[in-house]
Amino acid sequence: MEPSRRDALVYLATLVGATVVGPRIAAAPIGPVQAAAFTPAEIALLAEIGDTIIPDTDIPGAKAVGIGEFLAMMITDCYEPGDQQRIRQGLTEITTRYRDEYGGDFVGGPSASRTELLNDLDREQKAHHEDLSPGDPPHYFRVLKELTILGYFSSEVGATQAVRYMEVPGRYDGNAPYQRGDRAWFN
C-alpha cells in the first residue's frame, strides 16, 4: 500500500520535530537537581584557594581562568548533596582556621600565610587518605585541589601556556630533547 501525501507530510513533520526536540529532551537533567547555588563570597574564596594552589608566575594563575566559578559548577553539578555539604563545611573551616591563626580573611590575605595554611591542609588530607577505608569520603581539600588542577589544565591558558601543546595525532618521539626547566608536554 502506497502512503498518501498526507501520511508522508505527517511522517516528515514528525521527523523534523524529533530532530529539534529530541536533543533537548536528551540533554535535560535526569532526576531532581539537588544543589544550592554558591554565594559570591564562596566563589571568591574558591578562586583564592585555586590561585594559592596555582599562583601567577610568568603565566596567569588559576584565578585568571575563572577557577572559582569552575569549582562551584563542578561541586554543584557533579557531587552528591552529602559531598557538597562536606566541601562547604571545609570552606567554613578554612575561613575559621585562617582567621584564628593569621587574623583577617583568607580572601585578600598575604599569599605566604594562605600557602602555609593550604600546605597544612594538604598534609592533613594525605594523612586522611592513608587511613581511608573503602567507602569513606575523600578529604574536602583533596577534592578542591584535584578540581583546581583539572580546571586549570582544561582551560586555554593551562593547556597552551602552562604546558607545551602538541595536537593529537602527533608523532611519538621517545627521545625528545629536554632542557631542565622546560614545560611538560600536553596532548
Measured between alpha carbons, how far is 124 from 173 in angstroms, rounded to an integer? 40
- What's the confidence (pLDDT) of residue 33? 43
pLDDT in tens, 138-163: 999 999 999 999 999 999 998 888 88
- What's the confidence (pLDDT) of residue 117? 97
Residue 4 has pLDDT above 90, yes or no: no
SS3 of residue 164 by DSSP: strand
Using alpha carbons only, what angle is made at residue 81 by residues 76 and 87, rounded to the nearest 5 degrees? Answer: 70
Measured between alpha carbons, how far is 81 from 102 in angstroms, rounded to an integer? 31
Average pLDDT over the chain, rounded to an integer = 84
Residue 8 has pLDDT above 70, yes or no: no
- Residue 104 contacts by C-beta under 8 Å, 6 or more apart in sequence? 98
SS3 of residue 186 by DSSP: strand
SS3 of residue 91 by DSSP: helix
Measured between alpha carbons, how far is 75 from 38 in angstroms, rounded to an integer? 10
Task: Pull the grid cell for residue 119.
Answer: 600546605
pLDDT in tens, 67-117: 999 999 999 999 999 999 999 999 999 999 999 999 999 999 999 999 999
Residue from 124, 132, 125, 38 nearest 77 by CA: 38
The number of angstroms, rounded, from the C-alpha of 45 to the middle of its chain's C-alpha atoms is 14
Arithmetic mean of pLDDT, 14-21? 63
pLDDT in tens, 21-38: 555 555 555 544 444 589
- What's the confidence (pLDDT) of residue 183? 76
